[in-house]
Amino acid sequence: GFDLLTFGEALVSLRSAGPLATGGALTMHLAGAESNVAIGLARLGHRTAWAGRVSDDELGRYVLRQLRAEGVDVDHVTRDPERPAGLMFLERRTADLTRVGYHRAGSAGSALHVDDLRPALAAGTRILHLTGITPALSETAREASRWAAETASRAGALVCLDVNHRARLWSRDDARAVLSPLAGYASVLVASADELDLVGEAGADEATVVAGLLDRGVETVLVKLGGDGARAYTRDGVRHAPALPVTAVDTVGAGDAFTAGYLSGHLDGLDLAGRLRRAVTLGAFAVAGHGDWEALPRRDELSLLDDLQPG
């Protein structure tokens, strides 16, 4: 079995150095919140698998090659001969402003179906990670997400749902209607502060949403606060972890790194403080380097930022 199984849509991201409307060179990267998490864990030596559908062409081969090179198991990936790869343009519009554009409607990844996930789940996993992006992609991807969360939690896996609201894909009300029930399968729920009411009542404050989630059986609620770190809620109370004081050059992927660090700490049997420390450490690596996941640490690099750790 795997330590962690995750699934979703991996995208080919094309990054510009300046405004897209004036053209120029684009660089090609692997993107996708779930594949970012998979790479974060694989780099730390955990047995990690990613499942999903990829286009059966050069771009699909590129996605698989990147994941394999990072040590992520892709044995249970489906190749889709009919649909194209999902693309994402990451436009560096100004030094401080990046704009995201998706070309993913009708993509291979968005056609994800329950049947694509059966073999990977049958292999067994300690953790199932999923995001609120996948259920926004299509009806079949939504059902696949629900089925996987239910099946893994029944089998005794720790289910981690990272809300990851993508406003380009659906409205907050549509997201809430799907993600709120999905959260009922989760042991660990990750959200940024502005996403929390997508797994509770519209407009509800943090304390109310968290209380509701803990009541429904979620064990740990992690609220990401960007440069302010994160708060972790359990039945025992709340704990705050400050972010590490690094120079942020690229925040895309920081949330995925945070989640990967937390789950790595769980797999290593760390206590809550240790899991949070690893979470903010991976988040710091992600923001202090370019790319969604390229700057994430190997296990022998985890201590590189230790001088920045409080306490």
CB 288 within 8 A of CB 297: no
Closest distance between ligand KDG and the C-beta of residue 215, in Å?
Answer: 29
The dihedral through the CA atoms of 279, 71, 302, 17 has a sign that is negative
Among this protein's residues, is 307 annotated catalytic?
Answer: no
Residue 278 · residue 262 · CB < 8 Å: yes
Residues contacting 191, CB < 8 A, separation 6+: 162, 163, 198, 199, 221, 222, 223, 224
* CB nearer ligand KDG, residue 255 or residue 265: 255
Nearer to ligand KDG, 61 or 166 (CB): 166
Strand partners, 12: 30, 87
Site for ligand KDG contains 250 (CB under 6 A): no
Task: Tell which positions 99-128 bind ligand KDG, by CB under 6 A.
Answer: none
Does the protein bind ligand KDG through residue 253 (CB under 6 A)? yes
Sequence-ordered list of residues with C-beta below 8 angstroms from that of 303, at least 6 positions apart, any chain: none
Q: How many residues bind ligand KDG (CB under 6 A)?
A: 13
- Give burial (CB, 10 Å; 0-12/13-18/19+) of 92: middle
- Rounded to a whole number of angstroms, the minimum distance from the CB of residue 88 to ligand KDG is 6
Active-site residue, from 80, 162, 256, 292: 256
Structure tokens given for 38 = 């998979």
Q: Which is nearer to ligand KDG, 32 or 265 (CB)?
A: 32
Tokens of 194: 């502005």
Smallest gap from residue 216 Cβ to ligand KDG (A): 25
| CB closer to ligand KDG, 253 vs 289 | 253
Closest distance of CB 218 from ligand KDG, Å: 21
Q: Select 166 or 172, whichever has its Cβ closest to ligand KDG.
A: 166
Residues 150-169 touching ligand KDG, rule: CB under 6 A, are: 166
Of residues 277 through 306, those in contact with ligand KDG by CB under 6 A are 292
CB of 237 to ligand KDG, least distance (A): 29
Q: Is 252 in the site for ligand KDG (CB under 6 A)?
A: yes
d(CA 130, CA 42): 16
Q: Name the strand (E) or helix (H) holding 30.
A: strand 26-31
Secondary element (H or E) of residue 264: helix 254-267
Q: Which of 80, 91, 250, 256 binds ligand KDG (CB under 6 A)?
A: 256
CA 172 to chain centre: 19
Give me the residues that bind ligand KDG (CB under 6 A), please.
11, 31-33, 36, 88, 133, 166, 252-253, 255-256, 292
Residues with a catalytic annotation lie at: 256
